[in-house]
Amino acid sequence: MTGEQWLSRLQTQQLNALLFTSGLYDAAGDFAYRVGMPAKSGVGGGIVAVVPGRFTVCVWSPELNGYGNSVAGIWALEELSRSLDLRLF
């Protein structure tokens, strides 16, 4: 880890807002409510989620729900969020 900063604080806030509102396609609102982390999913079953100022976590499981997001990945992030009391809502 080099400690090199790639984005400004403002750019980071803007990116997190974008991920929070649209990173999981049409399920972004439900994910925000259930998990409470900015995240981006991919059609291969991966999800990258951020707890701003603390850590980033990646999960992967290939079974997708009707929105194209990883079923087990969402479950794992929801459990992580619950166990670490990270939920916003």
pLDDT value, residue 64: 97
Is residue 1 over pLDDT 80? Answer: no
The CATH number of whichever domain residue 19 belongs to comes to 3.40.710.10
Domain span at 43: 9-83
40 within some domain: yes
pLDDT value, residue 69: 97
Nearest to 20 by CA among 55, 49, 54: 49
Q: Which pLDDT tens digit goes with each residue over 16-50?
A: 999 999 999 999 999 999 999 999 999 899 999 99
Contact 66, 72 (CB under 8 A): no
88 within some domain: no
56 within some domain: yes
